[in-house]
Chain A
Amino acid sequence: MSMLVQFVITGLAIGMIYSLIALGFVVVWKSSGVANLSLGQLVLLSSWFTYSMLVQAGLPFYLGIPLVVIFAIILGWIIERIILRPLIAQPILSLITVTLGLAYFIEGIVVIIWPLSQAYLPRFFPTEPIHIGSAVVTQEYLWAAVISLVLFILLSLYFRYNRMGIAMRATADDQKAVQACGIPVTKIFSRSWMFACVLSAIGGILMSSIGGIRPGLVETGLLAFSVVILGGLDSFVGAMIAGPIIGLVETVGSGYLANFIKWPEIRTVIPFIIIVIVMCIKPYGLFGENRIERI
Chain B
Amino acid sequence: MLKLNNIEVAYLNVIRVLHGVSLKVDDGSIVALLGANGAGKSTTLKAISGLLKTEDGEVTDGSIEWEGKRIDKKNAEEIGKSGIIQALEGRHVFGHLNAEENLLVGAFNRKDSNAIKQDLEMVYSYFPRLKDLRRNIAGYLSGGEQQMLVIGRAMMAKPKLMMLDEPSLGLAPLLVEEIYDIIKRFNTESKTSVLLVEQNVRVALSIAHYGYVMENGRIVLDGTAEFLKNNEDVKEFYMGLSTVGTKKSYREVKHYKRRKRWL
Cβ-based interface call for B137 (8 A): yes
Q: Inside 8 A of B49's CB, which chain A residues have their CB?
A: 180
- Per-residue contact bits, chain B 127-142, to A (CB 8 Å; 1 contact, 0 not): 0000000000101100
A176 to B87, CA, bound (A): 10
* Contacts between chains A and B (CB distance < 8 A), count: 84
A167 to B95, CA, bound (A): 13
B81 A292 Cβ-Cβ under 8 A: no
Q: Inside 8 A of B97's CB, which chain A residues have their CB?
A: 166, 169-170, 173
B77 A180 Cβ-Cβ under 8 A: no
A180 B92 Cβ-Cβ under 8 A: yes
Name which residue of chain B comes closest to A295, CB basis.
B143
A172 to B139, CA, bound (A): 13
Q: How large is the interface on B (under 10, 10 to 19, 20 to 34, 35 or more residues)?
A: 20 to 34
B88 A183 Cβ-Cβ under 8 A: no
Q: Inside 8 A of A179's CB, which chain B residues have their CB?
A: 51, 54, 76-77
A292 B96 Cβ-Cβ under 8 A: yes
* Residue in B81, B87, B105, B139 whose beta carbon sits within 8 Å of that of A178 in the complex: B105
Q: Inside 8 A of B101's CB, which chain A residues have their CB?
A: 166, 169-170
A181 B108 Cβ-Cβ under 8 A: yes
Interface-centre pick from B80, B96, B143, B153 (highest chain A CB count, 10 A)? B96
Binding site for A on B (CB under 8 A): 49, 51, 54, 56, 76-77, 79-81, 85-88, 92-97, 101-102, 104-106, 108-109, 137, 139-140, 143, 153-154, 157
Question: Can you list 14 residue pairs at the A/B interface with Cβ under 8 Å?
Answer: A166-B97, A169-B94, A176-B92, A180-B51, A180-B88, A182-B77, A182-B79, A182-B109, A182-B157, A183-B108, A183-B109, A289-B96, A292-B137, A292-B139
Beyond the given pairs A163-B104, A166-B105, A183-B80, 16 more chain A to chain B contacts, judged by CB atoms under 8 angstroms and listed by A's residue number, are A166-B97, A169-B96, A169-B97, A173-B95, A176-B51, A177-B94, A179-B54, A180-B49, A181-B108, A181-B109, A182-B77, A182-B85, A182-B109, A289-B96, A292-B96, A294-B143
Binding site for B on A (CB under 8 A): 89, 163, 166-167, 169-170, 172-174, 176-184, 289, 292, 294
What 10 A-B pairs come out closest when comparing CB atoms?
A182-B80, A292-B139, A177-B92, A173-B94, A170-B94, A184-B77, A292-B95, A170-B105, A183-B108, A180-B86
